[in-house]
Amino acid sequence: MTKAIAAVGGHDFDHWRNIARTLVSAGMPPEQVRWSDADTPAPADLFADAALRPERADSGKVAASREFVTAAKLAILHRDPARHALLYRLLWRLQHTRTLMRDGADPDVRQIDRLVREVRRDIHKMRAFVRFNPVTDPDGGERYVAWFEPTHHIVEANADFFVGRFHTMRWSIVTPQLAVHWDGTSLTTGPGGARPKGSGEDPFADMWLRYYAAIFNPARLKVAAMTKEMPKKYWRNLPEATLIPELIAGAQERERRMVMAGGAALDMPWPATLDEVAAAVTACRACPIGCNGTRAVVGEGPQDSALMIVGEQPGDQEEIAGRPFVGPAGQVLDAHLARAGIDRSATWMTNAVKHFKHESTGKRRLHQTPTAGEIDHCRWWLDREREILRPRTILALGASAGRAVLGRTPNISRERGRPMALGDGSTLWLTAHPSYLLRLPEERRADEDALFHADLIAVARFIGTKTSAPS
């Protein structure tokens, strides 16, 4: 029996891949590989067994899907010491199941998705919360220095973003583990350090604080979610953090005034129930779509539903009937839900935008896609539905629906078919909008139908619903 092998991981993907491919080529099962979390070369005896020597291993036979490589390059940056074993286990299983990464219900796939989400979140936090302050270099030149405390090994992977954004500046980003420096020509790394002191005065600080206070939107404020997304450890680096306590204190009254300003008909108590939300949506005139003369189409379904399905906006037939998903796209959706074993009558159906945006041409009303600003205006109502219903799972149909849930426009082709944890404890799945299937030429429709069906099957499995085989 082959003895267990000790392999060194670290967060260098190429280093890990070279070792992993050699082990897979040699037929070394995951349970016989013991990974250590260090950034040092592999131990000298790793390839002591002749069967494990790189020149004996046919690495060309090792299969790794594009989805796996993309996810692994991010997951390797996580600080979870078990990440190397997880990646190797997935790579080993991919040799027998090429479509493994598309199985959103698989425990290993869900685990790597979690690591990827947390690394991406840390990358986003670095980009959002780094603040540069001017200092004077020993040569008398100006340099901008920032301090950041990453959770994972993301600093070097994130450096190119700052090079592209601040290409003409000389800057340094210092962290406890290492520092990255840009001199206008080349990027270098060095040892980490303590939080820099003696930073100069930022001449734009007062302007930024006035701007931040002006754009602060009380209707979007959720204190628990804010502190989760912007932990207080970052506050001391953010000049605008000094304004946050005062802005929070007056947020509820500002939000009420802002909602009232959206339309005179909103002279009602704070909507605490779905009926009150429906009445408020019907009266809302906060954006041009709400003022176009169509009636609002609010959500419908059981209030204890575990699944919420979010579309883009009501269409012509939905506006006439006053119900979501009753037109051609709704019929396509109903057929696919039935095939996947998802009971529409047990699902809350709603839209990102509550009024029908259209262009009239004679007797016809042609659908118009809502803008990002219009989706964001209407997002407040969807948030209230979510807060009241508290669905465990949300299925967003199309990019507009995805933006209404995420606050950003997702790439459906890249992000579809995988669970995404949200800050309120629910899980989001993204897929195409069924109207997209209707617009496709005949030669492409079968493939896209299959993808849409696969996404719904994954959701059905995730929520524990019985599924039926594809017809």
Q: pLDDT under 70 in the chain at which residues? A: 1-4, 6-9, 38-60, 196-270, 465-471
Rounded to whole angstroms, the Cα distance separating 402 from 397 reads: 7
DSSP 60: G
Distances (CA, A) of 80 to 29, 83, 178, 301: 21, 6, 19, 41
The CA distance from 287 to 281, in Å, is 12
Residues 6+ apart with CB under 8 A from 164: none
User: Cα dist. 40→37, 44, 50 in Å?
Assistant: 9, 11, 22
Give the SS3 label for residue 334. Answer: helix
For β-strands 5-8 and 142-147, DSSP reports them as unpaired
**How many C-alpha atoms does 300 have within 13 Å on its Cβ side?**
13
Give the residue ranges of DSSP H helices in 272-411: 274-283, 316-321, 328-340, 372-389, 399-406
> In whole angstroms, what separates CA 69 from the centre of its chain?
18
DSSP string, 114-154: HHHHHHHHHHHHHHHH---EEEE-TTS-EEEEEE---SSS-
CA 46/CA 244 separation, integer angstroms = 54
Per-residue confidence (pLDDT) for residue 429, from 0 to 100: 97
Q: Are 209 and 243 in contact (CB under 8 A)?
A: yes
User: Which amino acid type is present at position 366?
Assistant: L
Which residues are registered as beta bridge partners of 135?
143
Percent of the chain with pLDDT strictly greater than 70: 76
Structure tokens at 395: 């299925």
Cα–Cα–Cα angle for 132, 135, 138, nearest 5°?
Answer: 140
Asked if 19 and 53 count as a contact pair (C-beta separation under 8 A), the reply is no
pTM equals 0.46
Tokens 């931040």 appear where?
Answer: 212
Contact between 350 and 385 (Cβ < 8 Å): yes
What tens digit of pLDDT does each residue of 44-86 get?
445 444 445 444 444 457 989 999 999 999 999 999 999 999 9
DSSP letter for each residue of 5-28: EEEE--S-HHHHHHHHHHHHHTT-
> Which tokens sit at 353?
């935008």
Angle at 292 between CA 262 and CA 283, to 5 degrees: 40
In this prediction, residue 248 carries a pLDDT of 56
The 10s digit of each residue's pLDDT in 323-346 is 999 999 999 999 999 999 999 999
Burial class (CB in 10 A: 0-12, 13-18, 19+), 148: buried
CA distance linking residue 413 with residue 266, whole number of Å = 39
Q: Which of 272, 246, 214 is nearest to 388 (CA)?
A: 272
How far apart CA 458 and CA 109 sit, in angstroms, is 13
Cβ(400)–Cβ(352) below 8 Å: yes
Q: Give the separation between CA 399 and CA 350, rounded to whole angstroms.
A: 15
